[in-house]
A = this chain, B = another copy of it.
Amino acid sequence: MTPRGDIPSPTLERLAEYLRCLTETDVDVEEFISSDQLGKRTRWPAELVRRDLSYFGEFGRRGVGYNVTLLRHALARILELNRPQPVVLVGLGNLGRALLTYPGWDRFNLFIAAVFDTDPRLVGKRVLGHDVLNADAIPEVVPTTKARMAMLSVPGSAAQEVADQLVACGIRGLLNFAPLALEVPKTVLVRNVSFITELAVLSHYTAQEQ
């Protein structure tokens, strides 16, 4: 049994990084990988890698390391990426396009199930391999995709309304890029990505005493 919901998100983020690293590993060349190697490639201390992985079962063998294929499957299962996971995208500006073309969709078993925008120049067109649907169709289309996750790359002024619509369609995880704190029911998880917040953190840490 996976201790679902009990795994802290920093650990999950590391597990996702290990998985990415393993999907880049050619098992014909490298059948086993040590925690040292995995740590080196992901820049996490080998001790932390060992602790993260031992927590979820016994993947490793002393002196040999982890079987790459088995570990990959185990990580994918923990992250619920062992079967294809549909994701909905709302907002096809520069950021939306960057999301569509971000590397790793296939290897993480994630796929874009529907793309929405309000711009009449985009709606009905095919962009980067996806049909752009009118955002008005969200209530009708999203439930048919069975998606649990959505990415919100819309302007801040539209984000709450779109989030409400998505939640009403059964979306339970939102990746929000608008610089605004969404109001959602307790059963819905929001992960916020704010570039400016990231820079503010860097600004503090990189400041020199002058």
Contacts and interface: CB of A to CB of B under 8 A. Distances in A.
Interface of A: 4-5, 7, 9, 12-13, 15-17, 19-20, 41-43, 78-81, 85, 87, 93-95, 97-99, 101-105, 108, 110, 148-149, 151, 153, 156, 172-175, 179, 181-183, 189, 191, 193-209
Given A93-B98, A98-B98, A9 B173 contact: no
Q: Specify how many copies of this chain sit in the oligomer.
A: 2
Contacts of A189: 202, 205-206
A191 B201 contact: yes
Given A79-B203, A189-B206, 17 more contacts: A4-B205, A5-B205, A16-B201, A17-B197, A41-B181, A80-B203, A80-B206, A85-B203, A94-B98, A98-B98, A99-B195, A108-B200, A110-B199, A148-B208, A149-B202, A172-B206, A175-B202
A93 B87 CA distance: 23
A12 B201 contact: yes
B148 A181 contact: no
A79 B200 CA distance: 6
A205 B173 contact: yes
List the 7 shortest-distance A-B pairs measured between CB atoms, nearest first.
Answer: A173-B202, A95-B98, A16-B200, A94-B98, A173-B206, A80-B207, A43-B181
8 contacts: A12-B205, A19-B200, A43-B183, A80-B204, A148-B202, A151-B195, A151-B199, A175-B199
A204 to B, nearest CB: 5
A197 B94 contact: no
Given A191-B198, A195-B175, A12 B108 contact: no
